[in-house]
Structure 1
Amino acid sequence: MKTKLKLILSLLTTFSLLTGCDDQFDEINTNKVDPTTLAPSFVMNKAIIDATYLDGFGTLQMLCYEFGIVQQIITPYGSSLAGANYNQNNVSNTPLVWQNFYRNVLKQIVDVVEKTKEDANRTNLYHSARIWKAYAFMILTDTYGDIPYTEAAKGYISEITSPKYDSQEVIYKDILKELDEASAALDATKAIETTDVLYGGNVAKWKKLGYSLMLRAAMRLTKVDPTTARTYVTKAVTGGVMQSNDDNSVMRHTALYNNWIANHLQAREKTNFYLTAPFVNYLKTNNDPRLGSIAVRYVGAKGGPEQVASRASTDPKVQIGMPMGYDNVTVSTPAVLAQYGVASLWDFTQVNLNTVLKLDAPEFHVTHSQTQLLLAEAAVRGWVTGNAADFYAKGIRANMEQMASYDATAAIKEDAIQAYLAAHPFDTARALELINTQYWVSSFLNGPELFANFRRSGFPTLSKNPYPASEITEDFIRRMPYPDSETIVNQQNVNAAIARQGPNTLSTRVWWDKK
């Protein structure tokens, strides 16, 4: 009898426990910490931050290609660092812009656009996201030409896993439309996103960014569609472009969240990249005070371990840029070292890691300086009112004043700015050359924009890289090839783009890059 009673009590206890667990099952097994959705404003910030890459390796397309093509920064080393220094296709580095922007920036920004387009309380976030989306697509199409656009970043939203490639002409006309509509629709009387990492929700500054990007996009079309270019230049100026360095679109960094170009060069690539002879010589010849902010030379260094503070000099007079056309062996021959007056390849001038490439150095997307210089060219073409010489001087001044944002030691004094402007007046006979050469200096460290404006304008006037094992048929690299992964997963659409645009090589020109 006692045994039966114990069995009954045991069963009742077990049933009670099981019932209790079942009653609280949903609550116990729900993760209250792991989010199921993200606020669109946070996703927007991630899209902005990712535009300056996710790690140091992501910057290798700029370091190995864009900076080298425009002859500002070069490495003599090959293997994983081969690129514009040898005019060769390094399939490890040419896809990096594609991978980062499609997998990260556009995936996020398209999501923001989709989630906010019907939300009346978030119209400013929606239109800001449209502006940033246009900026991201500009970088991609400028780099590769025809790309997925109308069907891009919609794998999750619309289950499009093999997006078609749109022609660059179609892409640019839609980018201009998007910038026009979005910039005009921003409204300071409506809700703002104070967590916005770029402008803190300042609608006026987002408008200026939108219209300044419109000016940039319109000027891309100067060779292929000047009528459309002029129309949108006029709209941009009427809408209101950047008026000071306070309007700059800039990604700020900290000791914890680093500038990834700086991070990479301060670590494994510290002794591998150098300022080029064409860039250093241009700045030296013109007594440009920016050289003292940008450059450092470890005088007499015969190896990486000798690049120490005691040898460091920022004196513009002693800077010696590395010549184009050499590898680490040929540049180290006694004849070459003697010709340039250096002790070794480690004795050439580098980017200063204590100023413009500190770990917390800012990175600029669109600046007041660039905008003023584009206005100077537009004025020369008769597309805007105003004096081209005034825009030109303001553009130079703005970039020189921008140096102070890197570090106090990089700041350029007012008397030096005035002296430079006085010694380099605007010359109408050489207008386009002068403006776009200054744009080259002003866009230092902004790889995609340097590469794009060099092809568009043809300035500065640079000599062909004479490296003997070049793989290109043009004097300069004109675009990046599509990634091999695209050929594997989206072959039909890739082939259609190649048939329309031209061979998938470094020498094929994009639509707006006409001879």
Structure 2
Amino acid sequence: MKIYKKILGVTLLSCFALSSCDEDKLIELNSNKNASTDIDMSYLLAYGQLRVAGSRFESWRTNLIYSSTMIQHNATLQGYWSGDKYYYNASYSGAYWSTHFSDAIKLLTEVVDKTADDADLANIHSAAQIMRAFDLHRMTDIYGDIPYKQAGRGTIDGDANWFPAYETQEEVYSLLVADIKAARDSFSDSAKNLGEQDVLFQGDLTKWKKFANALLMRVALRMSNVDAATAQAVFTEAATSGAIDSNDADGFLTQVLGTGGDTNYNGTSLAMSSEGGGGGDNNAKVSKTFLDWMNANNDPRKMIIVGGVGNPYNDKSTWITDPELQVGLPNGYTTTTIKNIVPDFVTVDDYSFINPDIINLDDPTPFISYAEVEFMLAEAAVKGWITTDSETHFSNGINAAMNSWAAFGVQTPAQADINAYIEGLGYASADNKLELIGEQYWAATYLNHIESWSNWRRTGYPALTPTSDPNNMTGGTIPRRLRYYENEIGTNPENYKTAIARQGADLMTTRIWWDK
């Protein structure tokens, strides 16, 4: 190995000195000709699905540190949790970009490209295409304009894709619709069965088609404020084709603590340290905004989401679990500034922590749920896009959201309590139906905080009061996007410059295409 490194070093120095080195020969020199080039596409699909669920690195930074606190699901006094104080942290802001383009997107793109012309692998191709679209949809909603066509193809098709161009978000959305529909319609009972290596749906093609239609509905509503006609057409086609219609068909990735990254990464950042997580007592509490909202509506989910007051590392018998004594932590403060509103502040243990039972390392990772589908249908009915009853969809959504917590191994609310809750909201006679739907969507997507943030930006619901940390970077407004991974400035400069010239400054306050 030492000899090899010396030879390589001399070769590189010679190249630089003569400025005439053959780039292809350098690449060939660094290639292992004995390595296998034949990889099982089913394995890559499975691993790609796990990578979409995420690693601790970007899940902590994007889903928790930024999204969960920006959307005021959670709150924290830790200064490095930038989201509810509107700080800019380059590593945190660029975390999803830096990990998913080089990991999940690369894996899934390889599966898509290498199975495209093989009829026997049509189901692997379609599942990979949908997962690739799912992740790129999340990516564009976080950042705006992104590479789509060339994304993940730098090591597949050669140097033509080493510096991928960014499509406009409007183009990305058009490509998403086309790719998801094509994949959905290409599933085939006569092709190779996905089987157990499909870690999302274990080869159930009906569930895959429902998932694809639910994703199309999400995409359609997201662009409803900028292209209502296309949004309605995409939405109604998908809804008519049949989306997720029960909690049994939820797009929840089951985690089993297996090898290859099969771990719930919300849990790795929030769970008890004895379970392999870290910092649950310090990193986040349930936000005062969210807890106050649940209290105001007598929400029976409260003690599913809340674990109690106290230190979750201590003996459970020391926790204060009386529902009436739960206290939400205000957003936007540090251990110093909290004293401006709580002069006698002593410890963060005086505030309600997240229920440890919903952030275990083997809890599922939610992608998209039946509850979300019903709330989307309720909104579409209010808009006049569909003719079914909005109130029925609204009630179905709440029932689904309450009962979806069974997937996390916790006791769900009694049906009588759910019915009383729905009745108390007064949806039938309400003038603010869209607001009620938006609030319920926000509650139903707790733990899937990136989705909550995206839907809030589109709808404006719930009505959130921005925080006012003196060092905030947004002029005291909730961020509308995250900034690009800073490496793009040096490694893909021309395409980066083109994107920000077109979209607007690379700031957290710049609105993306659909955010009108």
Q: What TM-score comes out, normalization by structure 2 length? A: 0.88
Q: What residue identity is the alignment partner of 2:267? A: A
SS of residue matched to 2:307: strand
Q: What residue identity is the alignment partner of 2:281? A: T
- State the Cα distance separating 1:41 from its structure 2 match: 1.1
Q: What residue identity is the alignment partner of 1:292? A: M
Is 1:224–2:229 an aligned residue pair? no
Q: Does the Cα contact within 8 Å between 1:76 and 1:85 map onto a contact in 2?
A: no
SS of residue matched to 1:92: helix
SS of residue matched to 1:365: strand
- Alignment of structure 1 residues 379-390 onto 2, 5 Å: 379-390=381-392
SS of residue matched to 1:271: helix
Q: What residue identity is the alignment partner of 1:403? A: W
- State the Cα distance separating 1:448 from its structure 2 match: 1.8
Equivalent residue number for residue 351 of structure 1: 354
Is 1:163–2:164 an aligned residue pair? yes
Q: What residue identity is the alignment partner of 2:164? A: P
- State the Cα distance separating 1:432 from its structure 2 match: 0.8
Q: Does the Cα contact within 8 Å between 1:332 and 1:345 map onto a contact in 2?
A: no
- State the Cα distance separating 1:74 from its structure 2 match: 1.8
Equivalent residue number for residue 29 of structure 2: none
SS of residue matched to 1:264: helix
Q: Does the Cα contact within 8 Å between 1:56 and 1:264 map onto a contact in 2?
A: no
Instruction: Identify which of 182, 197, 200 aligns with 1:198.
Output: 200
Is 1:141–2:140 an aligned residue pair? yes
Q: Percent identity?
A: 30
Q: What residue identity is the alignment partner of 1:250? A: F
SS of residue matched to 1:281: helix
Write the deviation string for residues 466-513 of structure 1: whole angstroms up to 9, x where unpaired. 222221046210001011111110011100000000000110011000
Equivalent residue number for residue 479 of structure 2: 477
Is 1:270–2:269 an aligned residue pair? no
Q: What residue identity is the alignment partner of 1:434? A: L
Q: Report which of the two structures shows the higher radius of gyration computed on alpha carbons.
A: 1
User: For residues 286 and 498 of structure 1, do their structure 2 counterparts lie closer, same or farther at Cα, with a shift above 3 Å needed?
Assistant: same
- Alignment of structure 1 residues 299-310 onto 2, 5 Å: 299=310, 307-310=314-317
Q: What TM-score comes out, normalization by structure 1 length? A: 0.88
Q: Does the Cα contact within 8 Å between 1:369 and 1:442 map onto a contact in 2?
A: yes
Write the deviation string for residues 248-290 of structure 1: whole angstroms up to 9, x where unpaired. 1111123554311112223332222111100000011111011
Is 1:286–2:291 an aligned residue pair? no
Matches of 1:337 and 1:436 in 2, distance apart?
35
Q: What residue identity is the alignment partner of 2:325? A: V
User: For residues 449 and 258 of structure 1, do their structure 2 counterparts lie closer, same or farther at Cα, with a shift above 3 Å needed?
Assistant: same
- State the Cα distance separating 1:35 from its structure 2 match: 4.8
- State the Cα distance separating 1:56 from its structure 2 match: 5.2
Equivalent residue number for residue 325 of structure 1: 332
Matches of 1:56 and 1:352 in 2, distance apart?
22
Equivalent residue number for residue 425 of structure 2: 424
Write the deviation string for residues 46-83 of structure 1: whole angstroms up to 9, x where unpaired. 111111222356422221110111101122111xx241
Is 1:467–2:469 an aligned residue pair? yes
- Alignment of structure 1 residues 384-403 onto 2, 5 Å: 384-403=386-405
Mean CA deviation greater in 393-402 or 260-269: 260-269
- Alignment of structure 1 residues 108-187 onto 2, 5 Å: 108-159=107-158, 160-187=161-188
Q: Does the Cα contact within 8 Å between 1:193 and 1:201 map onto a contact in 2?
A: yes
* Off by >6 Å, runs of 4+ in structure 1: none
- State the Cα distance separating 1:465 from its structure 2 match: 1.1
Matches of 1:105 and 1:436 in 2, distance apart?
30
Is 1:407–2:409 an aligned residue pair? yes
Equivalent residue number for residue 107 of structure 1: 106
- State the Cα distance separating 1:310 from its structure 2 match: 2.3
Equivalent residue number for residue 71 of structure 2: 70
Q: Does the Cα contact within 8 Å between 1:375 and 1:388 map onto a contact in 2?
A: yes
Q: Does the Cα contact within 8 Å between 2:42 and 2:194 map onto a contact in 1?
A: yes
Equivalent residue number for residue 12 of structure 2: none
Q: Does the Cα contact within 8 Å between 2:466 and 2:476 map onto a contact in 1?
A: no
SS of residue matched to 1:479: coil
- Alignment of structure 1 residues 438-453 onto 2, 5 Å: 438-453=440-455
Matches of 1:474 and 1:166 in 2, distance apart?
30
- State the Cα distance separating 1:403 from its structure 2 match: 1.1
Q: What residue identity is the alignment partner of 2:43? A: F
- State the Cα distance separating 1:36 from its structure 2 match: 3.8
- State the Cα distance separating 1:189 from its structure 2 match: 4.1
Mean CA deviation greater in 465-474 or 448-457: 465-474
Give the unaligned 5+ runs of structure 2.
Answer: 1-32
Is 1:336–2:342 an aligned residue pair? yes
Equivalent residue number for residue 266 of structure 2: 261
Mean CA deviation greater in 472-481 or 264-273: 264-273
Equivalent residue number for residue 28 of structure 2: none
Q: Does the Cα contact within 8 Å between 1:57 and 1:264 map onto a contact in 2?
A: no
Q: How many residues align?
A: 472
Q: Does the Cα contact within 8 Å between 2:253 and 2:366 map onto a contact in 1?
A: yes
Write the deviation string for residues 296-315 of structure 1: whole angstroms up to 9, x where unpaired. 2234x6xx87x442222343
Matches of 1:149 and 1:100 in 2, distance apart?
15
User: For residues 481 and 57 of structure 1, do their structure 2 counterparts lie closer, same or farther at Cα, with a shift above 3 Å needed?
Assistant: closer
Q: Does the Cα contact within 8 Å between 2:379 and 2:390 map onto a contact in 1?
A: yes
Write the deviation string for residues 375-429 of structure 1: whole angstroms up to 9, x where unpaired. 1001100111200010011011001001111123x32222221221222231441
CA root-mean-square deviation:
1.9
Is 1:361–2:367 an aligned residue pair? no
Matches of 1:314 and 1:450 in 2, distance apart?
27
Equivalent residue number for residue 10 of structure 1: none
- State the Cα distance separating 1:161 from its structure 2 match: 0.8
Matches of 1:506 and 1:118 in 2, distance apart?
41
SS of residue matched to 1:506: coil
Is 1:316–2:323 an aligned residue pair? yes
Q: Does the Cα contact within 8 Å between 2:467 and 2:476 map onto a contact in 1?
A: no
Matches of 1:313 and 1:422 in 2, distance apart?
30
Is 1:97–2:132 an aligned residue pair? no
- State the Cα distance separating 1:325 from its structure 2 match: 2.7
Matches of 1:435 and 1:137 in 2, distance apart?
26
Write the deviation string for residues 333-382 of structure 1: whole angstroms up to 9, x where unpaired. 6x6065xxx752221111111x2112211111010000110010011001
SS of residue matched to 1:103: coil
Equivalent residue number for residue 493 of structure 1: 495
